[in-house]
Amino acid sequence: MSLTLAVLKGDGIGPEISEATLSVLAAASDRFGLGLSFEDVPVGLAALAAAGSTYPAETAARVEAAEGIILAPLDTYQYPEGQPNPSAQVRRTLDLYANIRPSVSRLPGVGRRLDLVIYRENTEGFYSDRSMFAGSGEFMPTADLALSVRKITRQASERIARAAFEAAARRRGLVTAVHKANVLRQSDGLFLDAVRTVAGEFPDVRLEEVIVDAMAALLVRDAARFDVVVTTNMYGDILSDEAGELAGGLGLAPALNAGDDHAVAQAVHGSAPDIAGRGIANPVALILSAALLLQRLGARRGEPRLAEAADAIDRAVTAALADPANHTPDLGGRSTTSAFAAAVAAELAG
C-alpha cells in the first residue's frame, strides 16, 4: 500500500512537534509496511514570508486534494490584519463537522483514570464565525447591548450523533448526550431530538442524557464511567479541555477534525510561542492525533494495517510515557521533543 499525508508544520512549536511526529510515523510505516510519504505544504508565518499569505491558494488546493492532513498549531495572534486563519479555512472548506477529542489517562499516578472520547459538533452553535449571519453571529444594537445567536440544525446534529454512535458501537457501547434542554428548550431540544432519532439506528448502543453543568461535575467525580460523549460546539469545547486536563494536560491531548471526505490531525493545544525553538515541546498530542488519522483512513480504506499501526503508536506513546526519563518539561521531566520521539520510535521498532 501507499499513502501520502499533507503536512502543514504551522508556527511556534509546530515545526518541532511535526518533525517528531513524522519520525514516529516513519517508524510505524517501516514496521507495518504502510508506504507512508509526506508532502510539506506551506502555511502560517512561513507561507506569509514566502508567498504573501498565511493560507495561499496553492496550499488550499493541495489540502483539498489530500486524503489525510496533519495540521500543526498556528500562531494566529501574529498574523497581520486580514490574513486568513488556516485552521478555520481548512475546517470550512473541507466541511470538518466532527471535532473528535479522546481523553485517556496514560501517566501512572497523574490525572484520573479515564478513557472517553468527545464528539463535538464543529460547524455551528454559538461561535460567531459559524453562525447563520454572514461573518458574525454577534451584534450590538446599541453600544450597551450585545446579542449572540446560536444556530442548531437537525442535519448537523444528526450527523455528529451518527459519528458518535458509530464510535460507541466499536467501543464500550455508551453515548452520553450533553445538553441544556431544560433551559434552551428549542435549540438544545432540537439537538437532543436529533440524537434520539439516530439512537434508534443503533439498538446495541445505550444513550444517556446529561445536563451540561452536571456533566462538568460528573467528569471530576467519575470520568471513568463515560465512553463517547456527543454535544454541541461550545459545550464540547469546554468539556474537552476539562477532560484533557483530567487526563494529564494539554501536551497530551489529541484531536481529529473529520468530515465525510477529509480528516485532519490537529493537537488541542496552541503554538506555545513561549517555548518555541527550544526543542522541549511535548509532541505527544500531535503524535496521537496522527494515530487517530491513521485509524480513520484505515477504516475508510478497509486497510487493517493502518489501524494496527495506529494502535501500535498509541501503545508506544503510553510505554514511552511510563518512563519519567522520557518526560518533557511540561510533565516535570528533562527530556526533549526529539528524544521523546526517538523513544516512541524505538518502542515501535522493538
Residue 321 in contact with ligand ATP, rule: CB under 6 A: no
State the DSSP H helix or E strand holding residue 193, giving kind and residue range, or none if neither.
helix 187-199
Residue 91 in contact with ligand ATP, rule: CB under 6 A: no
Identified catalytic residue from 95, 115, 241, 311: 241
Query: At CA 11, angle to CA 5 and CA 12, rounded to 5?
Result: 125
For residue 127, indicate whether it is catalytic.
yes
Give which of ligand ATP, Mg ion, none residue 71 binds (C-beta under 5 to 8 Å, depending on kind): none
Give the span between the Cα atoms of 127 and 124, in whole angstroms: 7
**Could you give the string, one character per residue 280-309, with x where binding to ligand ATP holds by CB under 6 A and - elsewhere?**
-xx--x------------------------
Beta strands in the chain (DSSP E): 3-8, 36-40, 68-71, 98-104, 115-121, 138-142, 145-148, 174-179, 206-211, 228-231, 256-258, 263-265
Size of the site for ligand ATP (CB under 6 A): 13
Residue 111 in contact with ligand ATP, rule: CB under 6 A: no
- The residues that touch Mg ion, with contacts defined as CB under 5 A, are 270
Identified catalytic residue from 127, 188, 235, 314: 127
Local structure of 71: helix, strand or coil: strand
For residue 151, indicate whether it is catalytic.
no
Identified catalytic residue from 79, 180, 227, 314: 180
The residue type at 331: L
Identified catalytic residue from 30, 129, 213, 261: 213
**Signed CA dihedral, 316, 321, 322, 326: sign only:** positive
Using a 10 angstrom Cβ sphere, with 0-12 exposed, 13-18 middle and 19 or more buried, the burial of residue 49 is: exposed
Q: Tell me the H-state helices in 226-331.
A: 233-246, 284-301, 304-321
Cell, residue 140:
450590538
Which of 229, 195, 190, 200 has the alpha carbon at shortest distance from 212? 229
Residue 320 in contact with ligand ATP, rule: CB under 6 A: no
Name the residue nearer to Mg ion (CB basis): 270 or 329.
270
Give which of Mg ion, ligand ATP, none residue 124 binds (C-beta under 5 to 8 Å, depending on kind): none
Name the residue nearer to ligand ATP (CB basis): 107 or 174.
107
Shortest Å distance, C-beta 271 to ligand ATP: 5
Cell, residue 173:
457501547
Residue 237 in contact with ligand ATP, rule: CB under 6 A: no
Residues 250-269 interacting with ligand ATP (rule: CB under 6 A): 250-251, 269
For residue 261, indicate whether it is catalytic.
no
For residue 9, indicate whether it is catalytic.
no
Give which of Mg ion, ligand ATP, none residue 9 binds (C-beta under 5 to 8 Å, depending on kind): none
For residue 213, indicate whether it is catalytic.
yes
- Selected from 270, 315, 324, 339, the binder of ligand ATP by CB under 6 A is 270
The residue type at 339: A
Taking the CA atoms of residue 157, residue 161, residue 164 and residue 165 in that order, the dihedral angle to the nearest 10 degrees is 180
Contact 89, 262 (CB under 8 A): no
Binding residues vs ligand ATP (CB under 6 A): 13, 250-251, 269-272, 274-275, 281-282, 285, 330
